[in-house]
Amino acid sequence: MLKIKEAIVVEGRYDKNTLSQLVDTVILETAGFAVFQDRERLALLRRLAETRGLIILTDSDGAGFVIRNYLSGAMDPSLLKHAYIPDLYGKERRKSKRSKEGKLGVEGMSPDTLTQALRRCGATILGEETAPTSPRRAITKADLFRDGLTGTPNAQTRRKALLVRLALPEHLSTNALLTVLNALFSCEEYAAAVAALEEKDE
């Protein structure tokens, strides 16, 4: 079990149950969209973000991104880390049918997928020493433009292909994509993913 410094916020109790089997930290729920009207819950999330940091781990569907964006705008972004699960299609065992978009939520992810999502977002895992890393060059909007991911007629198709290749959710806006790329990948990893798109196109 991973001991994590940051608190984690998820959408619902089944997500919380799944995650609590993998990590030792404070896990809170938004209760779906209820957090929009619940000032006390939001105040608690802010307080946790200020004292220990907060990881947002919502589903990869449209509703999950609405909640993620709301929380991102409601507190200091420097106190937040964003963990993303990939777009995987299927149905959770407890449900009789698929979700509206047909995607698995946090509760439907494998333990390995969730652990990887938390590690990739930069969760502080207690007991694991990390060597200091030298600053790396940021991926920029100019890089996205150069690589045909913005500003061209085919950009949307290429962005979607890149998201699939990197196992990132399809609902990322261009600005969010840039943030996520810089949080999760080096310039070299990004360049390799773009090069793989070129090979596929040939």
For residue 41, pLDDT beyond 90: no
Which pTM does this prediction carry? 0.72
Inter-residue contact 25 to 8 (CB < 8 Å) = yes
Least confident of 25-29, 133-137, 164-168: 133-137
Residue appearing with tokens 């793989």: 196
Inter-residue contact 85 to 172 (CB < 8 Å) = no
| Residue 140 Cα distances to 18, 36, 82, 108, angstroms | 36, 32, 19, 33
Inter-residue contact 193 to 165 (CB < 8 Å) = yes
Collapsing DSSP to helix, strand or coil, 114 comes out as: helix
Least confident of 55-69, 89-103, 137-151: 89-103
For residue 172, pLDDT beyond 80: no
Identity of the residue numbered 26: V
Cβ atoms < 10 Å from Cβ of 154: 11
| Residue 45 Cα distances to 150, 156, 185, angstroms | 35, 34, 27
Identity of the residue numbered 40: E
